Amino acid sequence: MIEQILPPAVVVAESFTDPAGLTLFPEEEKLVANAVEKRRREFTTVRHCARRALGELGIAPVPIVSGARGAPVWPGEVVGSMTHCEGYRAAAVGRTTAFATLGVDAEPHAPLPEGVLDAIALPAERARTAALTAAHPAVCWDRLLFSAKESVYKAWFPLTAKWLDFAEADIVVDAAGTFVAHLLVPGPVLDGAPVAAFRGRFLVDRGLVLTAISIPAATG
């Protein structure tokens, strides 16, 4: 499903359930040794998705451990992103020759809990969210904004190895299915030029909000 908002060169694997019998590499087992069962299931399934996607790129199964700030560590020739929420797990991967970074996120299509929008959104974002809600009330625009911010961070961190606060990107959502995240701090440098904004796409379907960002590889 999430492949609909990603370029064809991105390989996606997704699951709407946690299949029985999936196993982890020992390096991954260590990461969830003390986790509750729900966390173990989603962790295991999303890594199964990641290995399926990597396999389509011709890459043999490898452990996918967590690096700095919990970011997944991919094989050297790959960029990727993983996401999971209730009833959905997905991984998206691409060759570093084609993409500089990827960021994907999935959320349940439901309003954010009370107070979360105020905590994650800039005043201008809250105003635009209110306008979108008035014009298109069938969509939970607050949840979509949250998901977009998650995708922005997932795309940002592999390029910078730095934290990006919710307030450091101003996201403008277009009801037609796209969004632009204007970075309010110095962005990564690609092809010798700083990146000032990330552009993404979104999809609302099957009770889910999906967002995705793909940035092409530098050509210089």
pLDDT at residue 182, rounded to an integer: 98
Q: What is the domain class of 2-104 according to CATH?
A: alpha beta
Question: What residue has token string 């009370």?
Answer: 114
User: Any idea where the domains of the chain sit in the sequence?
Assistant: 2-104, 106-216
Is the separation of the CB atoms in 140 and 110 below 8 Å? yes
Return the CATH architecture of domain 106-216: Alpha-Beta Complex (3.90)
Q: Is the pLDDT of residue 119 over 80?
A: yes
pLDDT at residue 70, rounded to an integer: 86
Give the count of alpha carbons within 13 A of 60, CB side only. Answer: 0
User: What percent of the chain shows pLDDT beyond 70?
Assistant: 99
Is the separation of the CB atoms in 152 and 200 below 8 Å? yes
pLDDT at residue 219, rounded to an integer: 63
Backbone angles phi, psi at 72, to 5 degrees: -65, 145
In this chain, the answer to whether the domains covering 2-104 and 106-216 adopt an identical fold is: yes
In one-letter notation, the amino acid at residue 109 is H
Average pLDDT on 60-85 reads 94
Average pLDDT on 114-127 reads 97
Question: The whole model's pTM is what?
Answer: 0.95
Instruction: Quote the tokens at residue 11.
Output: 């390989």
Q: Is the pLDDT of residue 171 over 70?
A: yes
Q: Is the pLDDT of residue 202 over 60?
A: yes
